[in-house]
Amino acid sequence: RSTAAYDYTLLRDDNVVQNGVLTVARRTANLHLDPAGDRFGTFVAARLQATGALILEPGLRFDHDSATGDDHVSPRLAAALPLGPRTTLRASWGHYYQSQGLHELAVPDGETRLNRAELAEHRIVGLEHRLVAGLSLRAEAYERLTSHVRPRWDNTVNLYNVFPEVQSDRQRLAPSSARARGVEFLVERRAPRGLGWTASYA
């Protein structure tokens, strides 16, 4: 079980213009929160020989988060097709939910409730080639489509502040969706004994 404790107090005087007159508006906040919750997940998958050399691996994941009341089922599918003795074409697709952590609550910005889980759809196509001495090369093209994007707070003018939440340019950003895509190259050494390593560039 996870717990968190927030104690936050704010007292700020802002200069505002009302009816053409410069006045002072006082802004205060006094928040004391103790969020808590349990989180767990379970995953099942099956490895199937489809047709010829094609291998399919369908899967299903269930995630529960009592702090946000989230219960999610995520389908996933991976496929591998050997193109030769050392080369394999791979593809994968799946849904991934990410719940907001108790430590990620933006209390200084006035938030008192956790947001619902973000949903990301992953799409990956890659080509892997195995070399000698346990080395392998892999190139992947990926795309991540995110919905239920978690709102965030940011400063639009003063980007570097010790206490960014007290600045007057603080804004809440709530995008409806997000997309990330690109290409990644990996070199990996798998060793039953000794040192194994992975290097990547995206």
> What average pLDDT score do residues 135-164 get?
89
Neighbours of 8 (CB within 10 A): 14
pLDDT at residue 196 in the model: 87
> What average pLDDT score do residues 22-49 get?
92
Q: Is the pTM of this model over 0.85?
A: no
pLDDT at residue 71 in the model: 94
Q: How would you label 66-94 residue by residue, b for 16+ Cβ within 10 Å and e otherwise?
A: ebbebebebebebbbeeeeeeebebebeb
- 105-113's contacts with Cβ under 8 Å and 24+ in sequence apart are 105/4, 105/6, 105/33, 105/35, 106/152, 106/153, 107/6, 107/8, 107/31, 107/33, 108/8, 108/10, 108/163, 108/165, 109/153, 109/165, 109/170, 109/172, 110/29, 110/31, 112/31, 112/33
CB 109 within 8 A of CB 84: no
Residues 6 or more apart in contact with residue 56 via CB below 8 angstroms = 47, 48, 50, 77, 78, 79
Condensed to tens digits (0 to 9), the pLDDT of residues 158-187 reads 777 777 777 778 889 999 999 999 999 999
pLDDT at residue 57 in the model: 97
pLDDT at residue 157 in the model: 83
The residue extents of the domains of the chain are 38-201
Alpha-carbon span 168 to 72, nearest angstrom = 38
Condensed to tens digits (0 to 9), the pLDDT of residues 42-95 reads 999 999 998 889 999 999 999 999 998 889 999 999 999 999 999 999 999 999
pLDDT at residue 73 in the model: 97
Token digits for 105?
A: 């609550």
pLDDT at residue 25 in the model: 85
Amino acid identity of residue 140, one-letter, is E
